[in-house]
Structure 1
């Protein structure tokens, strides 16, 4: 037997349970990953708490939990390609990542990718990259961010936001990030110029950037996208990741599945070079999954939450 986090009804963190489940094994064209770290994303608790979100991802009850993972390949099925026993890997497994073992098909696909983890990147850090890193890359690619741009980033202090800020700075853009005042120093360490969200945002941005904003990405709802439109940013240079598939005003909806697979290599190279830092706000053992999700759902986390010790050894 092995352990996995599962839920049999939709609800808050209380529906999540650590269960003994039959140990999965790699079949033909599959590899098994012994999971050592799994990071949390808002979509994870969104799927577990809201039936309409689960339906959007094709998830039915009962279900496993989580998407982002890192670990070590410990079984390779017949005809599986690209991976060998002992390879360190990170990737995605929709609604089953927080478990001792996860089976993934090869060759991997965009919805459940698997990458080799470079030496020099820990499993904890690697586990944060699939959703947050690739979503950030997609959000900036959708608006064709360029050197010299001034980009307004909504929800800049979250898990995706810290990647967006750093990737935008590497491109050569100026970054103005919306956030609560208590996160301003946190954002400044990544090179963003913070501004308080809420009523009057457009006026505050005009004060910070009287020469104007040229692009925007909204990582939380629509306030930043609507503000950017009001500031005269062209719709095709505004992206959203959390406003549904058809945001108003002609702005571009996107997400991690839209990112080019090679974006992960660029992110990993930047981490190794020290030009991207991944802040891990907290780590929890698998037995404390409810506490971890409660913290994540509060929406005030500076960086990523990682489930560690998710392996029997």
Structure 2
């Protein structure tokens, strides 16, 4: 096979990595750390979520953080900042804060959809249509992450036909980027490769990405399997921080510095300084406040 010349990395630590930390991190410190990530060459970052402060207290300061960072991707050389939303209220808050890129989440399994958003998949897809309509009105670019795309522990396997129906709904809205998320950390390389390959064939023109949790030490090999199948976006978290707060045992994301090291060794360009990341990651562990 022919390896790609480059891969887009999206740092999700400020959103996914910090959301489960109990002690609230000051917004000024968050902004400082995000700016440091940018100086390492990361050009895309998911920095917060516009969700209920009761559900995710860590991101209750989303508007304040955006105000500090002056969240916009219109300034030359500024990283593309994005945030996660799960409903139209979140889109309105994000638009008022100057965000121009958002990620919405749809679950591939009914159990996780109910646990995560309180909605059935069918109702969540209806909400996604409303989110997309509102985002379009505000000139916001929307991507979609499909959570539990590779399974939900002890409850459900992912029905491939059902997954395809979800993707078709997203594609029909005109959304051009879809992230397949291994929320539970259950994925293995063969599954990742086959899932990505089949969806890529069925839905040409979509930009495919992966959001992987490293619960069983398969994060890097799953990244590799995804790249072999044609993904061009990998979401990572510095120091491997992260995990779904509504899914016990969903340990951290695949570490940004490990992915950069592997891709650099393979001659795949990321635009990110490994030396800078390694130095910055030394500051990350103290954020794991319990």
Is the pair's TM-score, using the shorter chain for normalization, greater than 0.5? Answer: no
More strand by share: 1
Greater gyration radius: 1
More helix by share: 2
TM-score using structure 2 length: 0.29
